[in-house]
Structure 1
Amino acid sequence: MSETENRLLSVVEHWLPRMEVAGIPSATAKAVIDSAGVWENWLAAWSAEGDRHAGMGEAALARGRRVTAGEAFARASLFYHFGQFMAFDDLDAKERVAALKVAAFRKAAPLLEQPGEPVEVPFEGGVLRGYLRRPAGQEPHPLALIIPGSDSTKEEFPAFERHFLLRGMATLSLDGPGQGEGRSHGHLRADVAPAVAAAIKAVEDRPGLTGAVGLVGMAFGGFLALRAAAALEGLAAVVSINGFYDLGALWPSLPKVYQDNITFALGGDDVVESARRFTLADIEGPAVPALVLHGGRDRIFPPSEAQKCADICRAGAELHVFPTGNHVCNNIPWMYRPLVADWLAERLKA
């Protein structure tokens, strides 16, 4: 078996459940993977499927079938996303497909059941971008601010957002610095508190919000959420799902495919030295209620990281390590996603 075939299998092994829970049916995802066959064909195969669903969206929209169109554009965005998310061999091609992802979701957002409203966040002389969604029903609503990880972006989260929306919370999924469209601000950074603060300020005067805010981060975003919550005042709660305590200490044990991911996300000449900056060891932890979740079978960030993350939380942390859970517990979404949404709704008094 060649190195590239090993890479394809590694990506599938770690992230197929994530693709499925994001909204790509298992049979469809596996059919695209089979059509790729080897890693060199991965980006092309997923992009072609994205093109097919984008075409379905255009055809539905032309006939006035807005619900169907919205669903198709959202699926297209996911196919483009998972085509490029681990593709680092041709960065120009990766960038082109990432742009298709952004464009497809921009068409999907206003057609979703709870429409996505584009948000531009003034930040460091430019803007960060996100999508604000409000639940149906009586206003106002508290806000769940969702922080992506090293390779996820705001376009990946509609299925996750639904859990919060159904419980009376608005959602704001944000591309921070180094994430998705936020790469215009450089590489991923450990201190995202200024970006989160700017995002909260950007929506604070929008109608339908109570002003109560909780942070939710998954994987690398779980670390970022804890770092931001430790630095910001006025938050109501923070959730970290399969995050980590110290990336530099984990570096030697990270799977090769994830090391490649982090090398792209962090940039610089010395990625190991950059990774050492992503630690909770040198900060005073969050002083708001915290929920820390982890999968016991996570082969990227070991479950021992969860206890370390919980231990720094000054207001205490509710800790759950699910023995059968994989990375971000996406093989058991029915277990962790309702728990996260219920817990946050109770803290935000949704």
Structure 2
Amino acid sequence: MMSESKLLSVVEHWLPRIEVAGIPSATAKEVITRAGDWAGWLPAWLEEADRNEAIAVDAEAKGWRVTAGEAYARAAACAHFGQFMAFEDLAAKAAAAERKCTIYRRAAPLLDPPAQPVGIPFEGAALTGYLRRPVGVDAAPLALIVPGSDSTKEEFPNFEKHFLARGIATFSLDGPGQGEGRLFGPLRPDITAAIAATLERLKGESGLSGKVALVGMAFGGNLVLRAASALPDLAAVVSINGFADLGAFAPALPQVYRDNLRFALGTEDVLGAAAGFTIANAPPIMVPALIIHGGRDKIFPVSEAEASARACSGRVDLHVLPEGNHVCNNIPWVYRPLVADWLGDRFADR
């Protein structure tokens, strides 16, 4: 019964996220039905990853690069969502996560435009991310995308398209504690040093103008706001369903998200660790800020968007979308163009 309850809870909160990541709605629902309960979740998604990877391999052998790239990206997404929230067997979760990374590396050069893997020297090892440049733009501004607590860079090719279509390059990063960044330990309350190292590394890449904005999803929203308070040369910062102070509402989080935080924060003392994830004591955020939040978010309350906006001392645009769920993924046609258009205006100094 608990296994069935967890599956229903994950689907309730995150099915739209699965769909906007590139898994067709009918396919996602069929995989969930095949899973039956939570014990079947990871195997069902890995089976779907196998199916899409086989399509990709066949298409690549025939020289059908577009089809191959799309199918590899779907296969990687399937492996990603298989390990998503699967904390019962951490070895199986890690194996699925590694499979996702391996498959996405095959997708990357076949995407349009291609995704270039970039390593960022950091604390004696390397962070990893993917750089995509818009076609026909000699010096593009950059949206640096930071994932949430159990999200990774491989989840974002569809999101990146909105920026690329507007002449904005993208760099999707696994920060410390995220995806391949788990080698640096659990999530950190402050990733400013990792962002600064990424910006320094990207200075050596061609086709970029030097203008950079940070874009954070969910947990990443808090991380980019905190980093923006210490990086005044940014062009802008965007928080999408983030928060200002995790400790303020952590006791009210749904059980499935508390399970996530035990893994993401690397401790059984979730409430104690949550207290560190706050912008309350950070310097004021002076760069232009866009704060977006779904009015129906059952994980991070709308009051956290309002508190985030109050932490901004420069221009701040707050949009609470009444029908939006967590990260507004049930209305991607509303929030994703809004983010990309708003950033386009900031980069153009409009």
1:85 and 1:231 mapped to 2: Cα distance? 31
Q: Can you give the 5+ residue segments of structure 2 that lack an aligned partner in the other structure?
A: none
Moved over 3 A (4+): none
Q: Within 5 Å, which residues of 2 pair with 1:229-268?
A: 229-268=228-267
Q: Within 5 Å, which residues of 2 pair with 1:42-81?
A: 42-81=41-80
2:310 and 2:246 mapped to 1: Cα distance? 17
Q: TM-score, normalised by structure 1?
A: 0.98
Alignment correspondent of 2:340: 341
Does structure 1 residue 176 correspond to structure 2 residue 175? Answer: yes
1:264 and 1:249 mapped to 2: Cα distance? 20
1:85 and 1:349 mapped to 2: Cα distance? 37
Number of aligned residues: 349
- Tell me if the contact between 1:227 and 1:285 (Cα under 8 Å) persists in the aligned partners: no
Does structure 1 residue 227 correspond to structure 2 residue 226? Answer: yes
Alignment correspondent of 2:294: 295
Alignment correspondent of 1:313: 312
Q: TM-score, normalised by structure 2?
A: 0.98
1:210-250 CA-partner distances (Å, limit 9, x unpaired): 00000000100111110110111310100000001111121
Q: Can you give the 5+ residue segments of structure 1 that lack an aligned partner in the other structure?
A: none
- Tell me if the contact between 1:294 and 1:320 (Cα under 8 Å) persists in the aligned partners: yes
1:287 and 1:251 mapped to 2: Cα distance? 27
Residue identity matched to 2:288: P
The Cα of 1:271 is off from its aligned counterpart by 2.1
- Tell me if the contact between 1:153 and 1:180 (Cα under 8 Å) persists in the aligned partners: yes
- Tell me if the contact between 2:294 and 2:328 (Cα under 8 Å) persists in the aligned partners: yes
1:188-220 CA-partner distances (Å, limit 9, x unpaired): 001111000111111112110000000000100
- Tell me if the contact between 1:219 and 1:328 (Cα under 8 Å) persists in the aligned partners: yes
Q: Within 5 Å, which residues of 2 pair with 1:11-50?
A: 11-50=10-49
- Tell me if the contact between 1:141 and 1:168 (Cα under 8 Å) persists in the aligned partners: yes
1:65 and 1:249 mapped to 2: Cα distance? 51
Among all aligned residue pairs of Structure 1 and Structure 2, give the percentage whose two residues are the same amino acid.
62
The Cα of 1:269 is off from its aligned counterpart by 4.5
What is the RMSD of the two structures over their aligned residues, measured on CA atoms?
0.9
The Cα of 1:259 is off from its aligned counterpart by 0.5
- Tell me if the contact between 1:135 and 1:165 (Cα under 8 Å) persists in the aligned partners: yes
Moved more, 81-90 or 270-279: 270-279
Residue identity matched to 2:126: V
Alignment correspondent of 1:9: 8
Moved more, 54-63 or 184-193: 54-63
Does structure 1 residue 286 correspond to structure 2 residue 277? Answer: no
The Cα of 1:171 is off from its aligned counterpart by 0.2
2:270 and 2:257 mapped to 1: Cα distance? 12
Does structure 1 residue 138 correspond to structure 2 residue 137? Answer: yes
